[in-house]
Amino acid sequence: SLSWRPGSNNHSPIMAHTIQARTPFSLGWQAVTTVPEVVGGQQLTATVIDLNPWVEYEFRVLASNRVGTGEPSEPSKQARTKSTSPKVTPANVSGGGGSRSELVITWEPVPEELQNGPGFGYVVAFRPHGATGWMQAAVPSPEASKYVFKNESIQPFSPFHVKVGVYNNEGEGPFGPVTTIYSAEEEPSRAPTRVRAKSLSASEAEVWWKALPWNASRRRVLGYELRYWSRSEREDMASVQRTVGNQTSTVIRGMRGSTTYYVSVRAYNTAGTGPPSATVNVTTKKPPPSQPPIKVMWNASNSKIILNWERVKALENESEVTGYKVLYKKNRHSRPSVMETNTTSVELALPVDEDYIIQIKPFGEGGDGSSSKQITIPKIPGPNAVGSASKVSTLSALSTIALSFTARTSL
């Protein structure tokens, strides 16, 4: 219940009062519900309702007349509401995982402003699926968010019904809804079989294996973990790559060219990884050609552009050139189109009323090689034109070079 003394009305009668409150948990001052619901201008007392139990409040009053609302009063002294038994249960009750023979239960703690009194804590109730009686444990810390029940009789990955309730010094509150949580599982006991690996390029290799069944021992398989290391590295320095679900193949990327790697595969679940498969080895292909195409020449006639370049010779430690990719696009922001050829010339049917950006790069079994410096073929001012790249280098596809050309008229 609040009371106050009237302030100055500035020569206009007070028509209503508004009561606001704040707590250590609120964002500034908030209007509160009162009895009576509307506090008239002549009224100097009111009862504030719907407050949270066991929370310290400050109050202030604002007066309004026909002109508007005045400045608020000075805040009252802090006053704590009475305590009562808790009414709010923890949110997001879940769990699982943990070590062998454990049931791990987690939840989001109830905020302090909803604990309703001192001595707040949690009651965790659980029972195996199919049982009738509940086992209970008290967790006396209001900040607690986890309870672990350990018993050697708990079977791996067994379902439990779980509910979490609340209490304080005033008594017990309600339990939250029942949810199903599984006990900790054991890591897979078998290794994948029929592991194979094949080099795709200088930097990629594909690995296959036979999947493990989820057998009666409840040892789930959530996916597979590949460990791979080069001949010059120790196994404990291996790189790790994981798959999810029933996937039985994957591509390893970022490998070094002309390098032998060892690969093993393990099944995994929340408890950890199982035993490794037999180790297989794979040797990546030679690196792709490092030299870019040079002496790129072009000529255009009507809507046809013919490109020519000098053949790229791979170095001794590089994979042989098996073809070329011609990348061309209309502007810097569009995705390039790609044409492959095993010769050193290509003909493109392109309109002559737009600029085109073109690059050429060799490729072999080791992957794509270095690109020529991109050339820009400008709008053709006449029916026929010829040109060449002024320089050729391995700069990125974002760079441009000047292109010299001469216009010719038909005789």
How much is the average pLDDT of 8-35?
94
pLDDT digits (tens, 9 = 90+) for 116-158: 999 999 999 999 999 999 999 999 999 999 999 999 999 999 9
Residue 187 lies in a domain: no
List b or e across 154-176, with b for residues whose CB sees 16 or more CB atoms inside 10 angstroms: bebbbebbbbbbbbbebeebebb
pLDDT digits (tens, 9 = 90+) for 163-199: 999 999 999 999 999 999 999 999 998 999 999 999 9
Residue 224 lies in a domain: yes
Q: Are residues 204 and 153 part of one domain?
A: no
Q: Are residues 301 and 259 part of one domain?
A: no
Interatomic CA distance for residues 264 and 115, integer angstroms: 53
Read off the pTM. 0.64
Tokens at 38, concatenated: 């509307």
Residue 86 lies in a domain: no
pLDDT value for 386: 54
Share the mean pLDDT of the chain: 87
CA distances in angstroms from 57 to 24, 87, 113, 384, listed in the order given:
8, 20, 11, 87
Q: Are residues 46 and 131 part of one domain?
A: no
How many Cα atoms within 13 Å fall on the side-chain side of residue 315?
11
Residue 248 lies in a domain: yes
Residue 381 has pLDDT above 60, yes or no: no
> Which residue is listed with tokens 């080099």?
199
Total tally of structural domains belonging to the chain: 4
Tokens at 376, concatenated: 């820009």
Q: Are residues 105 and 150 part of one domain?
A: yes
Q: Which of 12, 46, 80 is the last residue of a domain?
A: 80
Preceding omega of 362 cis (within 30 degrees of 0)? no
Q: Are residues 343 and 273 part of one domain?
A: no
pLDDT value for 356: 78
SS3 396: coil
Q: Are residues 225 and 202 part of one domain?
A: yes
Residue 320 has pLDDT above 90, yes or no: no
Q: Are residues 268 and 175 part of one domain?
A: no
> Which residue is listed with tokens 């053949």?
311
DSSP letter string over 271-292?
Answer: TEE-PPPPPEEEEPPPPPP-SP
Tokens at 159, concatenated: 């379902």
Q: Are residues 226 and 166 part of one domain?
A: no
- Which of 258, 261, 207 lies closest to 230, judged by CA? 261
Residue 247 lies in a domain: yes
Q: Are residues 133 and 113 part of one domain?
A: yes
pLDDT digits (tens, 9 = 90+) for 195-252: 999 999 889 999 999 999 866 455 889 999 999 999 999 999 999 999 999 899 999 9
How much is the average pLDDT of 159-164?
98
pLDDT value for 215: 64
What's the pLDDT band for 319 if we cut at 50, 70, 90?
A: confident
Residue 288 lies in a domain: no
Interatomic CA distance for residues 375 and 393, integer angstroms: 11
- Which of 37, 16, 25 lies closest to 81, judged by CA? 25
Q: Which of 253, 283, 313 is the last residue of a domain?
A: 283
Residue 289 lies in a domain: no
Q: Are residues 270 and 321 part of one domain?
A: no
Residue 347 lies in a domain: yes
Interatomic CA distance for residues 286 and 116, integer angstroms: 71
Q: Which residue has the higher pLDDT, 288 or 263?
A: 263
Measured distance between the N- and C-terminal CA atoms of the chain, rounded to whole angstroms = 106
pLDDT value for 132: 94
Q: Return the CATH number at 317.
A: 2.60.40.10
Residue 374 has pLDDT above 60, yes or no: yes
| Identity of the residue numbered 49 | I
Q: Which of 261, 283, 305 is the last residue of a domain?
A: 283
pLDDT value for 406: 28
User: By the 8 A CB rule, do 384 and 410 touch?
Assistant: yes
Give residue 252's domain range.
193-283
Q: Are residues 139 and 222 part of one domain?
A: no
